[in-house]
Structure 1
Amino acid sequence: MRAPRVLVVDDHGAIREALRIMLDSHGLAVVGEAADGDTAVRNAAALRPDVVLMDLRMPGTDGVAATREIRRLRLAEVLALTSFDEDELVFGAIRAGAAGFLLKTVDAVTLVAAVRRVAAGEGVLDPGVTRRALAALAAAPPSDEVRGDGLPEASDRAMPGAVLTVREQEVLAGMTRGASNAELAAQLGITVTTVKTHVSNVLAKLGARSRGHAVAIARGLDASP
């Protein structure tokens, strides 16, 4: 199996080097680096990595804006790295389409496993990163407002009148627990391909841009008929 190709984005050269060493030493292919959001988007377009490992706080174009553009252009999946004091950025990155979030203190084994999962189309949600962001989402006002970037809220993009089936509710529940596609397949007695289909349907019905966004929406949304 081909090793996932990774673009490392951080405005600190020492951090980029440390991440490169961690990934290279565990068999992943670091195909490039970027020190700001604009360069990240350009390099993602030129190098077409499987995963962009994205710092969220950078001068100029930050990681949230870069994530939004990378996902809009479908250039790669994005795995965000964040610190404890960046809840607002995490919240924005969820809506921008990031597939996962890890703390910058993550160990090499966890980081490598997360990159592989995101490259495989799964999500990675570090409880320490997402707990406060999900609480903020649940406390947010009804989404009949317009987001700061001019796009409608997730529920405005959801399929009109769409209701999750029982199986889709089971898949969504597993997603909120952080279960992988393979784990969901084993738990539900279905194939991984079928799980992926259900995940796609859940995202479409919720108007979510990523698994993480779907989980965030689910915390404040009753998915039952």
Structure 2
Amino acid sequence: MSRAPSVAVIDDHETVRLGLKMAAIDAGYDFVLAASNLDEFERERGDREIDVTVLDLSLGDGSQVTDNVKRVQATGSAVLVHSIADRVALVREALAAGAAGVIPKASATSQVMAAVATVAQGNVLNNLEWASAIDADPEFTRASLGRREQEVLHLYASGLPLKAVAEQLGIGVSTAREYLDRVRAKYIEVGRPAPTKVELLRRAVEDGILPRSNDDRV
């Protein structure tokens, strides 16, 4: 991203909102707004574009994690979940809903801003919190992919264009595309759709097809 990312914060604690706002400004980011809930966020946002929204995992208004993630995504913003580390079930729910990553509330604000930059680039945040949430629930991670489907996913999600994937595996481009279509169909079947390359990367990491980092630093 050639420009500074635009950032919003949704958290029901004023001190958190103010702290992240100042951290974003100090980092040179374009801070758009801070809101205590999704209704306020949608009302105050107007038509302003937001690259990354730092979303409190559990708001005090009784709203649901999946709904909150989806409502933010509907505005075109990526979601970075700001979480208390022991809420593993809610972290899994947020990741399943499409959040780009999780950063603990115990993290320094500089780490949160580094995570914002990662997500703003269109990358998933592959850290210890993500890995722990996934490892705690084996059912969360599995789609029945064949060997060749895994090979295509591994290479494609690693960043290779489809033509290069086909060349490396010694198959035609149309065949590689067919395998990739099968992969996407299988993820849809298990309720984990991956229509974009970034989401395919997320699925490959979740399922152990690509390695995940064991480092808890961003």
Name the TM-score, length of structure 2 as normaliser: 0.68
Residues 78, 166 of structure 1: CA spacing in aligned structure 2 closer, same or farther, 3 A cutoff?
same
Q: What is aligned with 2:33?
A: 32
Q: Is 2:120 aligned against 1:135?
A: no
Q: What is aligned with 1:218?
A: 207
Q: Is 2:148 aligned against 1:169?
A: no
Residues 50, 141 of structure 1: CA spacing in aligned structure 2 closer, same or farther, 3 A cutoff?
closer
2:68 to 66, 69, 75: 66
Residues 69, 15 of structure 1: CA spacing in aligned structure 2 closer, same or farther, 3 A cutoff?
same
Aligned residues: 182
Offset of residue 41 of structure 1: 4.2
Residues 44, 95 of structure 1: CA spacing in aligned structure 2 closer, same or farther, 3 A cutoff?
farther
2:43, 2:3 → 1: CA distance? 24
2:11, 2:50 → 1: CA distance? 16
Q: What is aligned with 1:57?
A: 58
1:47, 1:30 → 2: CA distance? 11
- What RMSD, in angstroms, separates the aligned Cα atoms of the two structures? 3.6
SS of residue paired to 1:114: helix
Gaps of 5+ in 2: 165-176, 210-218
Residues 168, 211 of structure 1: CA spacing in aligned structure 2 closer, same or farther, 3 A cutoff?
closer
CA-to-aligned-CA distance 1:13-63 (integer Å, 9 cap, x gap): 011000111111011111001101333344456332011111111022244
Q: What is aligned with 2:167?
A: none
1:27, 1:141 → 2: CA distance? 37
Residues 163, 34 of structure 1: CA spacing in aligned structure 2 closer, same or farther, 3 A cutoff?
farther
Give yes or no for contact 1:137–1:216 (8 Å, CA) kept in 2.
Answer: no
Name the TM-score, length of structure 1 as normaliser: 0.66
Q: What is aligned with 2:80?
A: 79
Give yes or no for contact 2:141–2:206 (8 Å, CA) kept in 1.
Answer: no
- What amino acid is aligned across from residue 149 of structure 2 in structure 1? L
Offset of residue 87 of structure 1: 0.7
Give yes or no for contact 2:153–2:204 (8 Å, CA) kept in 1.
Answer: no
Gaps of 5+ in 1: 143-154, 175-180, 189-197, 221-225
State how 1:6-155 maps to structure 2 within 5 Å. Answer: 6-43=7-44, 46-60=47-61, 61-71=63-73, 73=74, 75-127=76-128, 129-139=129-139
Offset of residue 165 of structure 1: 6.0
Larger Rg: 1 or 2? 2
- What amino acid is aligned across from residue 153 of structure 2 in structure 1? E
- What amino acid is aligned across from residue 203 of structure 2 in structure 1? A
1:29, 1:7 → 2: CA distance? 9
Offset of residue 167 of structure 1: 4.9
Give yes or no for contact 2:88–2:133 (8 Å, CA) kept in 1.
Answer: yes
SS of residue paired to 1:47: coil
CA-to-aligned-CA distance 1:182-208 (integer Å, 9 cap, x gap): xx89xx9xxxxxxxxx9xx69845344
- What amino acid is aligned across from residue 64 of structure 1 in structure 2? T
1:92, 1:115 → 2: CA distance? 20
Give yes or no for contact 2:83–2:104 (8 Å, CA) kept in 1.
Answer: yes
